[in-house]
Structure 1
Amino acid sequence: MQYYNQDTLIYLNAEFVKASNAGVDMFGQSLHYGYGAFEGLRAYSTHNGTRIFKAEEHFERLKRSCKAIGLPYTWDNRELIEKSYELLEMNNLRSAYIRPLIYSGSNMHLTASDTANIMIAAWEWGPYLGQHLLKVNISRIERPNPKSFPIDAKVSGQYINSILATSDAIKKGFDEALLLDQDGFVAQASSENLFIEKDFKIYTPPLGNIFPGITRETVIEICKNLGFEIIEKRISVKDIYEADSAFLSGTAAGIIGIKQIDDVVFPETWEDSIGASIQRKYKNLVLEQENYEVII
């Protein structure tokens, strides 16, 4: 897809510039080594106007990600949120995906950078994985070991792992991949968190070997508000195969149901699942709609 045209503006180091004129530092560590951090936010067109969902949480996580890899972060998050809204208005976007990126200055050494730049872009983007139920496979690619990498940080280079897993899944006729951790338990999808339903309870892998998604936290809050029991525990491949239903969560993807894992089709109809109720509640939440669904 085309992410920008000759009129698209981005926010770059305190200025709004045309994306086509931004240029790239050919000697930056981010280009050569993937040394950078980023975030993904969504703006929604609501009855209260354009609203960025959980903007403060996303920019705070961006700051933590930079700290985790020693990348300088000198910006005020309140100002960055204001600039994000301004960017949406300048590009005439009411519903959009927003991508802040912190990238290093010139440095060919394998040492932490003492300079950093910020870029914020925005574009129209539908649900990342579409809206149909997914076919997902257990990937041969493992989630990075937390002892070798700060896996709770949203770091650019880490996503090579996700690219490999997703590309392999698509080649095999699937929509997305599930990655195991170093101990053989199911961790997450390439860029989304996993939830399964079994006997009217929701299960999700605990923190430690997964990315701590903001949408994941929102799903946990929704479950508690609706009275659904949610349990954080390590999930085996056998648990996945024997689940009643399952779904993924992420800012780009939203809440999306899974039809099957490998060749195992889930027995519960998605429309009748707890996940579908959570999906509807999440949509109401991000759109700031008052008439929330009542579950009986």
Structure 2
Amino acid sequence: MNYYNSNTVIYLNGQFVKANEAKTDLYGQSLHYGFAAFEGIRAYKTHNATRIFKAREHFERLKRSCELTGIPFNWNIEDLIRQTYRLLELNNLKDAYIRPLVFSEPQMTLVTPEKVSIMLCAWEWAAYLGDRQLKVSISPFERPNPKSIHIEAKISGHYVNSILATSDAKNKGFDEALLLDANGHVAEAPGANIFIEKNGKLYTPAKGNILPGITRATIIELCRVLDIEVIEQEINVDFLKNADGAFFCGTAVEVAGIHTIDEVVYRQRWRDSIGATLQRAYKNLVLEKVNYEVII
């Protein structure tokens, strides 16, 4: 996939510059140790205009990730939102994935940086996991123990775990992985949260061992609007495999139905599931076809 070309513009420390002319320092702490904070944000072409979905929530989480890990964050969120819309305009992007990244100054120590930079880039976006139901494997890799990292912070280095899990799943012929936590409970996908349907209710892993996604929160709010009961609790693998259905959700994947977990096939037809209902509702929301926004 080509993320940029000779005409692509990025935002770097207050200026718009050509992506192929931008530079970073090879002695940066972020490059060597993965110590950087980032976000994944979606923009959609709606009947009104190009809209960035939950822009404030994403930039607030970026700020919170920095605060949790000691990375300085000295930018105004409203200005970052304005610059992001300008970025889309300069690159003539309507449906796009947006990547803000806060990265550190050159240094080789293991202490938090005093100076950082910010970069905003964007590119065209299609369905991250495709538009069919997924074959998912339970990963041999676990989510990190929350006592070892700030698991609610979206930090670059944390995603080594995600790369290992997804690569392992794909090498085995699956579409995606599902990771358990250190206690053997269902946690999340490498880049998405999971909801499980059983007897007309939805279940999702409780906070504590997961990155509680903005899309996850949106799905829970949509369930309140649609009078769908959601239960947050610890979930074991037997419960997962004996459920009626399941789906992933996240900024990149949106809502993606799961067909199989390892050897287990969910027999409920996707089109009859709560997940399919929420998939349609979420799409209507981000495209502003239905005014759920006044509620959530």
Relative to the length of structure 1, the TM-score reads 0.98
**Which residue in the other structure is 2:94 paired with?**
94
**Which residue in the other structure is 1:233 paired with?**
233
Residue 59 (1) aligns with residue 53 (2):
no
**Which residue in the other structure is 2:252 paired with?**
252
**Which residue in the other structure is 2:126 paired with?**
126
C-alpha deviations, 1:152-186, integer Å up to 9, x for none? 00000000000000000000000110101010001
- 5 Å-filtered alignment, 1:30-69, equals 30-69=30-69
Relative to the length of structure 2, the TM-score reads 0.98
Q: Aligned with 1:197: secondary structure?
A: strand
Q: CA deviation at 1:290?
A: 3.1
Q: Aligned with 2:146: secondary structure?
A: coil
**C-alpha separation in 2, matches of 1:47 and 1:138:** 40
**Which residue in the other structure is 1:262 paired with?**
262
Give 5+ residue unaligned stretches, structure 2.
none
Q: CA deviation at 1:102?
A: 0.2
Q: CA deviation at 1:47?
A: 1.0
The one-letter code of the counterpart of 1:245 is G
Q: Quick one: structure 1 residues 144 and 47, their matched pair in 2 at CA, closer, same or farther if it must change by over 3 Å?
A: same
Q: CA deviation at 1:128?
A: 1.1
Q: Aligned with 1:138: secondary structure?
A: strand
The one-letter code of the counterpart of 2:78 is R
**C-alpha separation in 2, matches of 1:58 and 1:143:** 22
The one-letter code of the counterpart of 1:267 is R
Residue 157 (1) aligns with residue 157 (2):
yes
CA contact (8 A) 2:166 2:177 kept: yes
Q: Aligned with 1:159: secondary structure?
A: helix
Residue 73 (1) aligns with residue 85 (2):
no
The one-letter code of the counterpart of 1:230 is V
Residue 204 (1) aligns with residue 218 (2):
no
The one-letter code of the counterpart of 2:118 is I
**Which residue in the other structure is 1:9 paired with?**
9
Q: Aligned with 1:93: secondary structure?
A: coil
**C-alpha separation in 2, matches of 1:285 and 1:125:** 18
The one-letter code of the counterpart of 2:172 is K
Q: CA deviation at 1:139?
A: 0.2
**C-alpha separation in 2, matches of 1:145 and 1:128:** 27
Q: Percent identity?
A: 60
**Which residue in the other structure is 2:191 paired with?**
191
The one-letter code of the counterpart of 1:231 is I
**C-alpha separation in 2, matches of 1:144 and 1:290:** 38
**Which residue in the other structure is 2:284 paired with?**
284
**C-alpha separation in 1, matches of 2:236 and 2:212:** 19
The one-letter code of the counterpart of 2:168 is D
- 5 Å-filtered alignment, 1:102-141, equals 102-141=102-141
The one-letter code of the counterpart of 2:131 is Q
The one-letter code of the counterpart of 1:157 is G
The one-letter code of the counterpart of 2:89 is E
**C-alpha separation in 2, matches of 1:27 and 1:77:** 28
Q: Aligned with 2:89: secondary structure?
A: helix
The one-letter code of the counterpart of 1:160 is V
Q: Aligned with 1:278: secondary structure?
A: helix
**C-alpha separation in 2, matches of 1:206 and 1:89:** 39
**Which residue in the other structure is 2:243 paired with?**
243
**C-alpha separation in 2, matches of 1:85 and 1:2:** 21
**Which residue in the other structure is 2:178 paired with?**
178
**C-alpha separation in 2, matches of 1:121 and 1:235:** 37
Q: CA deviation at 1:146?
A: 0.3
Q: CA deviation at 1:23?
A: 1.2
The one-letter code of the counterpart of 1:13 is N
**C-alpha separation in 2, matches of 1:291 and 1:206:** 28
Q: Aligned with 1:151: secondary structure?
A: coil
Q: CA deviation at 1:267?
A: 1.3
Q: Quick one: structure 1 residues 214 and 291, their matched pair in 2 at CA, closer, same or farther if it must change by over 3 Å?
A: closer
RMSD: 0.8
The one-letter code of the counterpart of 1:133 is Q
**C-alpha separation in 2, matches of 1:290 and 1:36:** 36
Q: CA deviation at 1:48?
A: 1.1
The one-letter code of the counterpart of 1:263 is E
**C-alpha separation in 1, matches of 2:264 and 2:239:** 12
**C-alpha separation in 2, matches of 1:109 and 1:49:** 46
